[in-house]
Amino acid sequence: MQTRGIRGAITISADTKENVLSATHELLDAILVANPNLRGNDIASAFFTTTEDVTSAYPALAARQIGWDLVPMLCAREIPVPESLAMCIRVLIHWNTGLSQKEIKHIYLRDAKVLRPDLANN
């Protein structure tokens, strides 16, 4: 078994706790549907980032709310690159799996589809 990365991102329309948690739930749910073998016990860690305009809640709280209680998680701020996508939540999940990198499904939702158009339609 190897550790693989699953990437995902989603945008919100306004920086509220409800929007951050709801969008993060939506993103994680989509990742779980796209990768049906993904289980909490197989997640080595999850790393969330937000753009500097998202400060009202930690996205990792949404992961805790779906039962990822033992998964080590960290939240951080994206570097403020000029003209980068605003109001964005990103995640990198480290998954212990026997799947190849080609079999992993990455999820980009809402306006975040522009970040990886090559992967947005997986």
Which candidate in 7, 39, 77, 103 is catalytic? 7
* Sheet with 73-77, edge to edge strand ranges: 73-77, 43-50, 88-97, 2-11, 107-108
Identify whether 39 is a catalytic site residue. Answer: no
Active site residue 108: yes
Catalytic residue among 18, 90, 103, 110: 90
Q: How many angstroms separate the CA atoms of 68 and 96, rounded?
A: 15
110 is catalytic: no
Residue 58 among the catalytic residues: no
Beta strands in 1-121 (DSSP E): 2-11, 43-50, 73-77, 88-97, 107-108
Helix, strand, coil percent values for the chain (each to nearest 5):
30, 30, 40
Of the candidates 18, 39, 64, 77, the residue annotated as catalytic is: 64
64 in catalytic set: yes
**Active-site residue, selected from the candidate residues 75, 77, 88, 103:** 75
- Of 4, 58, 88, 108, the catalytic one is 108
- Catalytic site residues? 7, 64, 75, 78, 90, 108, 116
